[in-house]
Amino acid sequence: MDAEAQPTERDRSSRPARSEKISDTEGPEDRSRFALVSRAAEWLPGGRITLTLLVCLLFLLLFSRFVIQPFEIPSRSMERGLRIGDRVLVNKVAYRFGAEPQRGDVVVFDGTGYFGHADYIKRVVGVGRDHVVCCDKEGRIEVNGRSVDESTFLYPGDSPSAVSFDVVVPEGGLFVLGDHRSDSSDSRDHLGSPGGGMIPVGRVIGRADWIGWPSEHWTHLDRPGVYARVPAADGVHG
């Protein structure tokens, strides 16, 4: 015998009937947006697949334009770390929310009117109000009276600079050098040009954070710790 209690006719009729109709939560705006997408998919060859690919492409373009942009290294000026043909991933929001380039950052900037009509990649050695001198008694660059040991990233066999200089970086400016000092056109070569070889912070496109290609060279570009020991500029130098 079936031990499960069976509802009587009275039991069934006494319960409120459940509606099996799903409530329509879409408003007129949602339905019209869906219809628009459907019409676009019908118009495109390949339908929804093509539409999805186009949306993904648009997303990548916007992402590249405003967030992360790849740049190819065209010269030997940043060896040993960056070689010709390397693709670096440049963080374009690194300095968008009040942050500014710091000593040791590798940055990409628009050199138009300062270095030439092109984008450049260099290392920040001095920021606004820094007093940058080359060289101390041991041949090292000095920033705000502190000698900087650049041996961990300089190109092997290169000296910190074959050119002597003694500059104060203006507020809102950057003094930049390539890591391959003997094969780099940088702030040293433009000391007598308009701007004095300094790059305005506003010309910086972003900070190079990663080497993305080739895959065997994939690595994060860290800020060298030697710059953390450089004291802040006191603003007295002139």
- Domain-ending residue, one of 66, 95, 117: 66
pLDDT tens digits, one per residue of 26-75: 445 444 554 555 565 556 566 566 556 555 555 444 444 556 999 999 99
As a whole number of angstroms, the distance between CA 88 and CA 67 comes to 13
Q: Which one, of 168, 170, 192, lies nearest residue 114 by Cα?
A: 192
* Together in a domain, 41 and 137: no
14, 32, 75, 122: the catalytic one is 122
Q: Which one, of 63, 82, 49, 212, lies nearest residue 153 by Cα?
A: 82
23, 32, 38, 77: the catalytic one is 77
The residues, ordered by sequence, that sit 6+ positions from 217 with a Cβ below 8 Å of its Cβ are 83, 86, 211
Is residue 218 assigned to a domain?
yes
* Together in a domain, 92 and 47: no
Query: Is 122 designated active site?
Result: yes
| Number of folded domains that form the chain | 2
Q: Which long-range contacts (CB under 8 A, 24 or more apart) does 18-22 make?
A: none
SS3 34: helix
Query: Is 77 designated active site?
Result: yes
The DSSP code sequence of 2-16 is --SPPPPHHHHHHSP
- Domain extent, residue 34, equals 28-66
* Together in a domain, 90 and 190: yes
- β-bridge partners, 166: 133
Is residue 16 assigned to a domain?
no
* Together in a domain, 58 and 100: no
Q: Is the pTM of this model over 0.85?
A: no
pLDDT tens digits, one per residue of 193-237: 888 999 999 999 999 999 999 989 899 999 999 999 999 987 444
pLDDT tens digits, one per residue of 70-97: 999 999 999 999 999 999 999 999 998 8
* Together in a domain, 61 and 74: no
Percentage of residues in the chain having pLDDT higher than 90: 65
* Together in a domain, 105 and 182: yes
